[in-house]
Amino acid sequence: MADRYLRFTRTAPGRLLTRRLGLPEPAALRRRTPEHPTLDGEIAHLTVGSSTAGEPELAAVLASTGLPVAAAAADPAAIVIDATGVASARALAGVHALLHPVVRSVAASGRIVVLGTPLSATDHHQAAAQQALDGFVRSLAKETGRGRTVNLVRIAGGARAAESTLRFLLSPGSAYVSGQTVEVSDTAVTTPDDWSRPLAGRTALVTGAARGIGAAVTETLVRDGARVVCLDAPQAGGELDRTAERLGAAALPLDMTADDAAERIADAFPDGLGVLVHNAGVTRDRRLSNMSAEHWSSVLDVNLTSVLDTTDALLKTGVVAAGGRIVATASIAGIAGNSGQTNYAASKAGIIGLVRSLAPRAAADHGVTVNAVAPGFIETSMTAAVPLLIREAGRRMNSLAQGGLPEDVGATTAWLAHPASGSVNGQVVRVCGQSLLGA
């Protein structure tokens, strides 16, 4: 369903009325198109004190985005401020000193990325200063406006390990990702031969792929070169076939809760699976006092139990092996909770627990990363059925004052599935325009 308020605010009467009444003024977000795959303009590269990320290496990574990099730029498309050397509360003044004069000059739909380091377990001054950057970024993201995003990347080693992350956050693909902190380890990464088709030669499975977010994820992975199999419940067969045909993918009708689901998936990928995207999900909304046991179990079975069971089986049998990527779909409901969704919120919080526990072991034992995306209000047929006032609240209660699009989740998933994202593991990244709900 079209966001009529968003369209109205882009007319002259709409701009006048919203400003006079102090109503939200959502900006037109710059998203990726074939004609404009990158932002327009320069990257301003600023450094507070001494960098621990390696200045030459970071400069080379920023240059790889295809945008010119300068120490100063008028109306830059992005600002990258290297605060990896900030190790004390007093040193935080350097962040203010560098950003204060230029923050307003960032172009509409521009990007601000702050680079930090993991918190020290032995130096509480460093830990305090670096954690302060988290609060700084979340607050700045709420006040920049004009469709700009602000994110924090904590780099454990050299900047090269963060290349896929910086390319994503400095691109139109991250339009609905803001106020997030991403940890990047010092794991060695695999650089693709072609950054425009990084998944060439890899196979991917997307569950819940017949429509909405799943279809958008499929489309993005196909665009990036993957051979994709779309999976959905047998009752979605007609729509699943149409989606697969439209996107140049294969269709696999399958009930993920079936006892032989993992076995049938393994049969579909005799040569292994490079990317596994757990997107299948259902809702059965009721307040707990009115929720039947069937409504509880049906949601937990699809959204969580099937994910646990198939992941375990596909890792154990080596179907998803070294270099593989597992990306699961959580939700801000699993972070903040939602009235009438105790079952759904429990299942999505369970996904977060799965990711945080399994990620280090999957990396150590199998060479596989495990991450999650947590969408907020995304414009789909499901949210179109939400009552008007609740729908409008969902759209406006974020720093960008609008709903996201399925392609926003698709782009974030593709980044986590990237062969060069091996240093990104155990992360839960919210795709919510910095929703005001939850942390």
Identify which has the larger pLDDT, 55 or 421.
421
- Rounded Cα distance between 125 and 89, Å, is 7
Return the active site residues: 344
Q: Which residue has the tokens 């009708």?
A: 253
Q: Model pTM?
A: 0.96
Name the amino acid, one letter, at 240: L
Task: Let me know if domain 203-431 sits in CATH 3.40.140.10.
Answer: no
The closest of 424, 405, 14, 15 to 213, measured between CA atoms, is 405
- Rounded Cα distance between 427 and 327, Å, is 10
Q: What is the DSSP letter of 116?
A: E
- Rounded Cα distance between 386 and 127, Å, is 43
What pLDDT, in 10s, does the model give residues 102-115? 999 999 999 999 99
What pLDDT, in 10s, does the model give residues 279-310? 999 999 999 999 999 999 999 999 999 999 99
CA 177 to chain centre: 6
- The confidence score (pLDDT) of residue 71 equals 85
The closest of 2, 5, 1 to 393, measured between CA atoms, is 5
Identify which has the larger pLDDT, 386 or 364.
364
pLDDT at 1 over 70: no
* Same fold? 31-184, 203-431: yes
- Rounded Cα distance between 417 and 221, Å, is 9
The closest of 210, 216, 220, 139 to 181, measured between CA atoms, is 139
List the domain boundaries for the chain: 31-184, 203-431
What pLDDT, in 10s, does the model give residues 41-85? 999 999 999 998 888 899 999 999 999 999 887 899 999 999 999
- Rounded Cα distance between 137 and 122, Å, is 24
- Rounded Cα distance between 47 and 61, Å, is 15
- The confidence score (pLDDT) of residue 132 equals 98
What pLDDT, in 10s, does the model give residues 336-355? 999 999 999 999 999 999 99
CATH class of 31-184: alpha beta
